[in-house]
Chain A
Amino acid sequence: MLNWLRRPKYGTLQRREMPAGIWAKCPRCTTLVYRKELDRNLRVCPKCGYHHRLSAEERLAITLDEDSFVEFDSELTSTDPLAFAGYAEKLQEARAKTGRAEAVLWGEGLIEGRRTVAGALDFFFMGGSMGSAVGEMVTRAAEHARAHALPLILFAASGGARMQEGVLSLMQLAKTSAAIGRLHDAGLGYISVMCDPTTGGVTASFAFLGDILLAEPGALIGFAGRRVIEQTIRKKLPEDFQTAEFCLQKGLIDLVVSRAEMRPTLAALLDYLGAPRVAVPARTAADRAAAGEDAAPEAAADPATERAPEADETGLTERA
């Protein structure tokens, strides 16, 4: 299992969209921001509120309780099933660039002490595109949530289906949607968070099937691309077309949630959607231990915890 959560929170994370240096330039307002300040601000521009894109790893690092996350399937990858020209090389490049095997990362962890299955697509890996491997892992995440009676949170950031796997990629829409359907049937909660950008086949499958649909401010969310639409209707689209705020106004999503508000919002939603609370929220436990207090016993008899016999004291399961 990865132990990246044990690293210092942001200091060692690879920055991918900004040149190295002490200062970072905001792509929206062009303000120069001291990089450490930007990191402290969860990569949100302190001047204009622009939400920089995050890798899947960064995303989960700022969302889940420290040291609570166990990653599954980190070695699972796509093959080149159609022998599509240039695909094998593109996969290699993406792996070298991101240090990940595929465009998704998923596992189990805690959000303010609530146990949940969580996953994130990585836009820096071939545009977060969904081929067989991404479809497989999203499906496994949903199946794992169902098998362990846990809620599911997925952060989408994707250009859509991965062309290089042809119709096999298209079929991942059916596969992931089928797994989400079973989660719905089981009465378990699924929160979909759409980040910049979430388009194409990912919107036309699991990303829009959440019980609750959230989006980050300014995120591009839509099925068809702007250029294709403009060519089709032969007119210019408004600047804010397909933004998170536009989708909210059109009634397509529940909420636009800033990065700073994401954790508490998810925690509150998980409570409504019935996420099991672990005996001790991991962070609080660490704090208490540091303060020389006893580990809080208050939730030891929490039925939710008892319902998960495989849970150890941190509330996490070993991989099945």
Chain B
Amino acid sequence: MASGSPRPQTPAAELDRQLAEVRQEIERLRRLSRDQGLALDAEIARLEERAAALTTAIYTDPSPWHIVQLARHPQRPRLHDYVTALFTDVIELHGDRRFRDDPAMFAGLARLDGEPLVVVGHNKGKDTKENIARNFGMPYPEGYRKALRAMKLAEKFRLPVVAFVDTPGAFPGDAAEERGQAEAIARNIEEMTRLRTPVVVVITGEGGSGGALAVAVGDAVLMLQYAVYTVISPEGCAAILWHDATRAAEAAEALRLTAADLLRLGVVDEVLPEPFGGAHRDPDAVIPAVRRALHAHLQDLRTHPAEELLERRYAKYRGIGRILEASVNGEPGGSRQLRP
């Protein structure tokens, strides 16, 4: 489902680049004005207006398509940033014990405020070199199997699981297919629905379809304000439905993939606010919100026995969807919303 090739410079990044240019130009003119006593106030004021307009365009009420660009922003905080900032005593665990260690997936032991837990998550890079090494955060089956191994470890030692989601999707390659990409994802999803320990999921960037869901079934699913979560990429959706990938903005709108939409649909439990304009503008600012939310949810989930967690988790996923039943047990049914 994922588009495999690295994406070109995104529109959001392009707007950001323009804004940076305008700011540079303002700085340059100010220097000129100061150093050489030139009267450039009108020119500077014009540029400042331009900068303000760009900022507004970028950050105020971004369109779903713009949010997709924010979710994919190259400077957006990555798993590594969260793990480093949130946890202590981190010990990374490698390999699926079957084939190899998949660098697109992270697994490890860590402490949050001293409390031990297991961390898994998609491991996107920050630059091209890192991204090539980590396959742009698109795991092979062995990545999912590594995550599952770590989660079973968590279950065994009664450690909660924190999962970070940020992937364009599972890697669509021939070797991934041959090694059972579908089975690996299906197995993870099934096991996560009945993992006998608390699971908290944080969707931090791109939640790309099955490849995201394979580490995203949990008791609490949190989502950053400008993350997206979708059954198919907007480009893929537009290509299939309208045979025109350039209509991705329309598809992004139609797919209801923003955090606000998903909160309404009952797919995520809480939306974590980002700094004005997106997490990449101030990566440190998003950390306290994630920390507070993780702490609160884990605190609460720890108080419930495993049986109860599983019942609640089952009921939650059981209830997602919208169906119509012409008759329910002989009574006229009409529209039935599975989850209020």
Q: How far is the CB of B221 from chain A (nearest CB, A)?
A: 10
Contacts of B314 in A (CB 8 A): 178, 182
Given contacts A167-B265, A177-B190, A224-B181, contact A136 B229 (CB under 8 A): no
Question: Residue A201 contacts which of B210, B240, B338 (CB distance < 8 angstroms)?
Answer: B210
Instruction: Please state if B186 and A203 are interface contacts (CB–CB under 8 Å).
Output: yes
Instruction: Please state if A170 and B190 are interface contacts (CB–CB under 8 Å).
Output: no
Q: How far is the CB of B229 from chain A (nearest CB, A)?
A: 6
Instruction: Please state if A178 and B194 are interface contacts (CB–CB under 8 Å).
Output: yes
Contacts of B177 in A (CB 8 A): 222-224, 229, 241-242
Question: Residue B335 contacts which of A79, A82, A178, A231 (CB distance < 8 angstroms)?
Answer: A79
Q: Taking the complex as formed, is A96 at the interface, i.e. its CB lies under 8 A from any CB of chain B?
A: no
Most buried by B among A78, A167, A231, A233: A167
Query: Looking at chain A's contact residues, is the secondary structure mostly helix, strand, loop, or mixed?
Result: helix
What 1/0 mask marks residues of chain A from 155 to 174 whose CB sits below 8 Å from any chain B CB?
A: 00000110101111111111
Alpha-carbon gap, A209 to B191, bound state (A): 11
Q: Taking the complex as formed, is B119 at the interface, i.e. its CB lies under 8 A from any CB of chain A?
A: no
Alpha-carbon gap, A139 to B170, bound state (A): 25
Given contacts A170-B213, A181-B194, contact A132 B322 (CB under 8 A): yes
* Chain A interface bracket (under 10, 10 to 19, 20 to 34, 35 or more): 35 or more
Q: How far is the CB of A93 from chain B (nearest CB, A)?
A: 14
Question: Residue A222 contacts which of B3, B171, B182, B230 (CB distance < 8 angstroms)?
Answer: B182
Query: Looking at chain B's contact residues, is the secondary structure mostly helix, strand, loop, or mixed?
Result: mixed
* Chain B interface bracket (under 10, 10 to 19, 20 to 34, 35 or more): 35 or more
What 1/0 mask marks residues of chain B from 221 to 258 whose CB sits below 8 Å from any chain A CB?
A: 00000000111100001001100000000000011110
Given contacts A177-B189, A204-B185, A208-B186, contact A135 B180 (CB under 8 A): no
Q: How far is the CB of B328 from chain A (nearest CB, A)?
A: 9
Q: Taking the complex as formed, is B267 at the interface, i.e. its CB lies under 8 A from any CB of chain A?
A: yes
Q: Taking the complex as formed, is B327 at the interface, i.e. its CB lies under 8 A from any CB of chain A?
A: yes
Question: Residue A163 contacts which of B174, B180, B232, B323 (CB distance < 8 angstroms)?
Answer: B232
Please provide the chain B residues from 156 to 186 with a CB less than 8 Å away from any CB of chain A in the complex: 170-174, 176-183, 185-186
Instruction: Please state if B230 and A75 are interface contacts (CB–CB under 8 Å).
Output: no
Q: Taking the complex as formed, is A81 at the interface, i.e. its CB lies under 8 A from any CB of chain B?
A: yes
Q: How far is the CB of B320 from chain A (nearest CB, A)?
A: 4
Q: Taking the complex as formed, is A77 at the interface, i.e. its CB lies under 8 A from any CB of chain B?
A: yes
Q: How far is the CB of B232 from chain A (nearest CB, A)?
A: 6
Alpha-carbon gap, A119 to B164, bound state (A): 35
Contacts of B173 in A (CB 8 A): 224, 229, 232-233
Name the residue on A nearest B216 (C-beta): A174
Alpha-carbon gap, A242 to B213, bound state (A): 23
Contacts of B189 in A (CB 8 A): 173-174, 177, 204-205
Interface, chain A (partner B; CB < 8 A): 73, 75-79, 81-82, 84-86, 101, 131-133, 135-136, 139, 160-161, 163, 165-175, 177-182, 184-185, 200-201, 203-209, 222-225, 228-229, 231-233, 237, 241-242, 250-252
Task: Knowing that A79-B322, A222-B177 touch, tell me 15 more A-B residue pairs with CB under 8 angstroms.
Answer: A77-B323, A132-B322, A163-B255, A167-B257, A168-B320, A170-B229, A172-B321, A173-B186, A174-B213, A175-B318, A201-B209, A205-B186, A224-B181, A228-B2, A232-B171
A-B contact pairs, 20 of them (CB 8 A): A73-B325, A75-B325, A75-B327, A79-B323, A79-B335, A82-B255, A132-B321, A161-B210, A170-B213, A174-B217, A201-B210, A205-B185, A209-B187, A222-B182, A223-B182, A224-B177, A228-B172, A229-B4, A229-B177, A250-B179
